[in-house]
Amino acid sequence: MTLGLHLGVLALLGGLQLVLPPFHHGMLARIMVLAAYAAGYNLLLGYAGLMSLGHAMFFAAGMYGTGLTIHYLGVGVITGFLLGVVAGLAVAAAVGLITLRTAGPAFLIVTMMLAQAFYLATLYFNEITGGDQGFILSGLHLDLAGRRLPLADPAVKYNVALVVFAACLLLNFWIVRSPAGRILLALRENEERTRLLGYNTPRYRLFAVTVSGLVAAVAGSAYTLLFSYVGSTFAGILYSIYPLLWALLGGAGTILGPLVGTLVMTYLVDVASSLTTGYLIVVGATLVVTILWVPAGIVGGIRARWAPWLP
């Protein structure tokens, strides 16, 4: 039944493309990629209980791993995607090892410092990366079953975004209900107890950071492919704060929370930025309101009140 609900949400997203006007169609494609990013983030925050402020480096590792290899080496879309994922995996595993002995605020600060170093590196090597100007990829095609699909085509874009989001959501769903998911939750609740139940807790920590970073890199790589752009903005602190915000707003530790949070926040920012240039105030205010009045987030609140079976 719970799997049915999640498949139903994916089917709804698939169906929406038939009825949405072009603006919202494009918007939702972008939201789905960012929601995949938020889902990766939520795996660490919501299930393993680790708050990172450095996920932009994983997202950007996917982005640069894909963008640079396509731009400079001329590899195809699929190869570029895989190289982005490998780059993200390597960065995530390294960060996981470096932060193994940190918890709570220390973890937050160390991930933030590492991400900042990554960000500065993208600026420092601006001859290669294009710095904050970035660079544009053009004419990206996906060769699928003998057909050549331009990624700039809205329908292709939407459906690739949907596939990426669906893969991340289902991976998340599967991990959370697997024995490993129960161990991650146990880590969040009581690390020492978990050790004394015979679990090598550092190993599960490393697993959580690596998978979370991997999903973020998948999203980053997909973002580059679908929106044909690479730039250091996506490695900056704001892109580390966003997934935290999306996950908290939607509900940390819920599977649908990241989608709901990303959806609400992206539309909110869109409306706010058409009214004022200070739209970051809206972002900040939403965070404050969420933490004060709906600490469990939207989906978390629904779960607490009406649907305790929601994973």
Binding site for other proteins (CB under 8 A): 178-180, 182-183, 185-186, 189-190, 192-201
Least Å distance, CB 198 to other proteins, is 3
| Distance in Å, CB of 186 to other proteins, minimum | 5
For other proteins, which is the closer residue by CB, 66 or 172? 172
> Nearer to other proteins by C-beta: 4 or 198?
198
Cα–Cα distance, 142 to 46 (Å, whole number)? 34
Q: Which is nearer to other proteins, 135 or 207 (CB)?
A: 207
When the beta carbons of 209 and 235 are compared against other proteins, the nearer one is 209
- Residues 6 or more apart in contact with residue 62 via CB below 8 angstroms: 84, 85, 87, 88, 216, 217, 218, 219, 220, 221, 222, 223, 224
- 145 — alpha (psi -120 to 50), left (phi > 0) or beta? left
Angle at alpha carbon of residue 162, lines to 96 and 168, rounded to 5°: 25
Least Å distance between CB 178 and other proteins? 7
Residues 41, 307, 305, CA angle at the centre, nearest 5°? 95
β-sheet bridge partners, residue 150: 141
Q: Which is nearer to other proteins, 101 or 182 (CB)?
A: 182
Give the three-state DSSP class for 24: helix
Q: Is 130 left (phi over 0), alpha (psi -120 to 50) or beta?
A: left
Distance CA 264, CA 7 (A): 21
Minimum Å distance from CB 200 to other proteins?
Answer: 5
In angstroms, rounded to a whole number, what is the distance separating the alpha carbons of residues 248 and 236? 20
Closer CB to other proteins, 200 or 273, in the complex: 200
Q: How far is the CB of 96 from other proteins (least distance, A)?
A: 18
To the nearest whole angstrom, how small is the minimum distance from the Cβ of residue 93 to other proteins? 18
Q: Which of residues 45 and 115 has its CB atom nearest to other proteins in the complex? A: 45
Question: Taking a C-beta distance cutoff of 8 angstroms, is the pair 61, 91 a contact?
Answer: yes
Q: How far is the CB of 195 from other proteins (least distance, A)?
A: 5
CA 92 remoteness from chain centre: 13
Quote the least distance from Cβ 192 to other proteins, whole Å.
7
Give, rounded to a whole angstrom, the gap between the first and last alpha carbons of the chain.
11
Question: Crossing angle of helices 279-293/257-275, nearest 10°?
Answer: 140
Q: Tell me whether residue 212 or residue 286 sits nearer to other proteins (CB atom).
A: 212
Distance from C-alpha of 134 to C-alpha of 130, rounded to nearest angstrom: 4
